[in-house]
Amino acid sequence: MHASTSTRPHTDPPDARTGSTGGSAPRLEFDAITKRYAAQGGSGTVTALDGMSFHIDPGELFGFVDSNGAGKTTTMRIALGVLAADSGEVRWGGAPITFETRRRIGYMPEERGLYPRMKVGEQLVYLARLHGLSRPLAQERTRAWTERLGVAERLEDEVQKLSLGNQQRVQLASALVHDPEVLILDEPFSGLDPVAVEVMSEVLRERSGAGVPVLFSSHQLELVERICDRVGIVRAGRMVACGTVDDLRGTGPEQVVVDVPGAGAEWAAAVPGVRTLDVTGSRLLLELPEGTDDQQVLQAALAAGPVREFARRRPPLTELFRHVVTEEAGA
């Protein structure tokens, strides 16, 4: 399975981690990346990235979350050398990524890109060879990955003849066909059918399990929450929160859901410090201040009537995201 020691905040020293094979496994680091564009139709510049810093350890599945236009695509394109940063550096294993090491990255651009009129098989072999593979190896890996992703019977078809879902699978195959040692995938789940979503998550976990640092972005926060080791939230070109989902949750007060049928909402108000956030029928969402014992709340509930439900509520990533983004915006 994938590495599980990634609960440290992202400010850890780069050598803190040891890879599963021992020695120093290569970590992917983004160090203070800044990028400005000329503003459209006028003078001045727009800052797309403003000191973007984070890292991904080998074997780690890192989810990149932002609101549209906050800079995740720019970050990825800089890592791939499609764009040049104004300042800052992307490092892999401590050394800046060069044109040659870049061939070891598997990339899936946000705007999907394949030759529409080229056959699936030829296209994948071509892309693998551009990544430096010999022809026989490229053919072998093309067969292996198309079989794995369930598009092996379409090798002789033009990409444009495939369904959208299958085109996405071919796109993923194009990112994997050269057995990359780093994966950078921009919105890999968008446009996938549920089966393909499962295949995709499985492949990402398997690759990170093989020691590959995996960076992917998504707007599907439930999915990110489910499969990522760590999450980074980006706002206005900066990383504003970064860590495991639990780390991020740790920042807010504890919440519990209590259902005492027929008891109304008044009993909760009697417990000192507890705030009622939401009432749905007899179901209450309570916020417990720091240091409050949840057992005390349970006793109060039992005193009010038979308790049907009593659970700690884990705020979903969606809520954390909204929280982090609006908090930053207000600051």
Partner 1 sequence: MSNGFHDDLPDVRLSSAQAVRLVAGREINTRLRSKSYQIITAALMLMVLVFSVVMQMVTSGDDVQKVGFTAASAPLAQRLETLADVAGVEVDTVSVDGEQAGRDQVADGSLDALLLQRQGTQVPVVVEEELDETLQASITQAAGQVTLDQEITRLGGDPSVVARQVAETSVQVDAIDPPQDFDPQRLAVGSIAGILIYLALIATGASVAQGVVEEKSSRVVELLLATVHPWQLMAGKVVGIGVVGLLQVVLVGATGVLAGQLTGALSLSWATTIGSAVWLVVWFVLGFTLYSLVFAGLGALVSRQEDVGGVTTPATMLLVVGYVVGISVLPNSPDNTVVGIMSLLPVFSPTLMPMRLAMGAVPLWQTVTALALAVAAVPLLVALTGRIYRNGVVRTGARVRLRDALR
Q: Which stretch binds partner 1 (CB under 8 A): 28-36, 96-104, 305-313, 315-323?
A: 96-104
The binder of partner 1 chosen from 81, 88, 165, 316 (CB under 8 A): 81
> How many CB atoms sit inside 10 A of residue 91's CB?
16
Name the β-bridge partners of 215. 62, 184
Among 101, 139, 282, 296, binds partner 1 (CB under 8 A): 101
CB closer to partner 1 out of 102 and 249: 102
CB of 218 to partner 1, least distance (A): 19
Structure tokens at 246: 């639990």
Residue among 17, 35, 55, 131 that touches partner 1 (CB under 8 A): 131
- Reported as type and span, the H/E element at residue 258 is strand 254-259
Exposure string over 193-211, b if 16+ CB within 10 A, otherwise e = eeebeebbbebbbebbeeb
The tokens describing 223, both together, are 């999915």
Strands 238-243 and 283-288: unpaired
121 scored as a contact of partner 1 (CB under 8 A): no
Tokens 């369930």 belong to which residue?
150
Q: Which of 7/24 has CB closer to partner 1?
A: 24
> Tokens 């780690």 correspond to what residue?
60
**Residue 105 found at the interface with partner 1 (CB under 8 A):** yes
* The only residue of 8, 36, 112, 283 in contact with partner 1, by rule CB under 8 A: 112
Which string of x and - marks every residue 55-74 that binds partner 1 (by CB under 8 A)? ---x----------------
- The answer to whether 80 contacts partner 1 (rule: CB under 8 A) is yes
Per rule CB under 8 A, is residue 14 in the interface with partner 1? no
What 35-38 contacts at long range (C-beta under 8 Å, 24+ apart), as own/partner pairs, is: 35/71, 35/74, 35/78, 35/83, 35/85, 35/86, 35/237, 36/86
Q: Is 8 in the site for partner 1 (CB under 8 A)?
A: no
Task: Decide if residue 315 touches partner 1 (CB under 8 A).
Answer: no
Q: Which of 210, 277, 302, 311 binds partner 1 (CB under 8 A)?
A: 210
- 36, 102, 143, 249: residue in contact with partner 1 (rule CB under 8 A): 102
Alpha carbon 42 to its chain's center: 35
Nearest to 20 by CA among 176, 213, 160: 213
Told to check if 129 binds partner 1 by CB under 8 A, we report yes
* CB nearer partner 1, residue 103 or residue 205: 103
Among 51, 83, 300, 316, binds partner 1 (CB under 8 A): 83
CB of 8 to partner 1, least distance (A): 21
Please choose, out of 44-52, 100-108, 191-199, 271-279, the segment that lies near partner 1 by the rule CB under 8 A.
100-108
Are the CB atoms for 317 and 247 separated by under 8 Å? Answer: no
Residue selected from 66, 181, 187, 229 as contacting partner 1 according to rule CB under 8 A: 181
**d(C-alpha 194, C-alpha 309), whole Å:** 31
CA atoms 87, 59, 243, 196: torsion sign: positive
- Min CB(149)–partner 1 separation in Å: 15
DSSP secondary structure, 111-173, as one string = S----TTSBHHHHHHHHHHHTT--HHHHHHHHHHHHHHTT-GGGTTSBGGGS-HHHHHHHHHH
Take residue 28 and report the two structure tokens written for it.
């992917």
Closer Cβ to partner 1, 126 or 310, answer by number: 126
User: Footprint of partner 1 on this chain (CB under 8 A)?
Assistant: 19, 21, 23, 25-26, 38, 58, 77, 80-83, 93, 99-105, 107, 109, 111-118, 122, 126-127, 129-133, 174, 178-179, 181, 210-212
